[in-house]
A and B are shown apart, each in its own frame.
Chain A
Amino acid sequence: QVQLVESGGGVVQPGRSLRLSCADSGFTFSTYGMHWVRQAPGKGLEWVAVISFDGSNKYYTDSVEGRFTISRDNSKNTVFLQMNSLKAEDTAVYYCAKDGTPTSGSFDPWGQGTLVTVSS
């Protein structure tokens, strides 16, 4: 059974970097895609990025393209989100989520989230 645990959130100054991690305790991590979804305080959900099962395909929402990088290490059952040039508007709870099977493009399950606060 998939169980996702995010880490790496915290308070960071604008323009700095942060790296989030999401570890999966299941046994089939290398067979499915993974997403990052974020939620600004008091706001709705926003999809951020996706990576395919083998890391060969990656897609991003426009607002993070060129600043964020999604990657994975299948030997460690972990997906990462490297966030550079952070802005105040990147402040949010960041969730990782497993890509749906066979419903690719849906999210199930989700991790508990990690809060990123970008502030001087």
Chain B
Amino acid sequence: DIVLTQSPATLSLSPGERATLSCRASQSVGTYLAWYQQKPGQAPRLLIYDASNRATGIPARFSGSGSGTDFTLTISSLEPEDFAVYYCQQRSNWPPLTFGGGTKVEIK
């Protein structure tokens, strides 16, 4: 199974700052990596698919990059509604589909 490791576990930032989240895969997933946002008490929402493509309705401040084993989700300028938990997920080699452990972006 492909293991995804996210870092840091928690990111403490202020509104307006830039957030950089990392996801590392245990083996190459090509560009078959997605990012999801989950707010407390809500279901996850797809943000980015295939490493760098924004899902429908996702603001341009969210961007994804990377390929192979190293990926990054960048939020260019944090809005109050962006404080949440973010998960990466691979669809390169499945089943099983696997998720990273998540990064919590909290208000500093």
Binding site for B on A (CB under 8 A): 35, 44-47, 50, 59-62, 95, 100, 103-113
- Among residues 89 to 108 in chain B, which have CB atoms less than 8 Å away from a CB atom of chain A? 89, 91, 94-102
A95 touches B99 (CB 8 A): no
Binding site for A on B (CB under 8 A): 32, 34, 36, 38, 42-46, 49-50, 55, 87, 89, 91, 94-102
A47 touches B46 (CB 8 A): no
10 A-B residue pairs with Cβ-Cβ distance under 8 Å, sorted by A, are A35-B97, A44-B101, A45-B99, A47-B98, A47-B99, A61-B95, A103-B50, A103-B91, A106-B49, A110-B45
Give bound CA distance, A54 to B87, whole Å.
29
Given A35-B97, A62-B96, A106-B46, 18 other A-B contacts at CB below 8 A? Answer: A44-B99, A44-B102, A47-B97, A47-B98, A50-B97, A59-B95, A59-B96, A61-B95, A103-B49, A103-B91, A106-B34, A106-B89, A106-B91, A108-B49, A108-B55, A109-B43, A110-B45, A113-B43
Q: Choose from B43, B94, B97 the contact partner of A112 (Cβ within 8 Å).
A: B43
B49 touches A100 (CB 8 A): yes
Give bound CA distance, A63 to B50, whole Å.
27
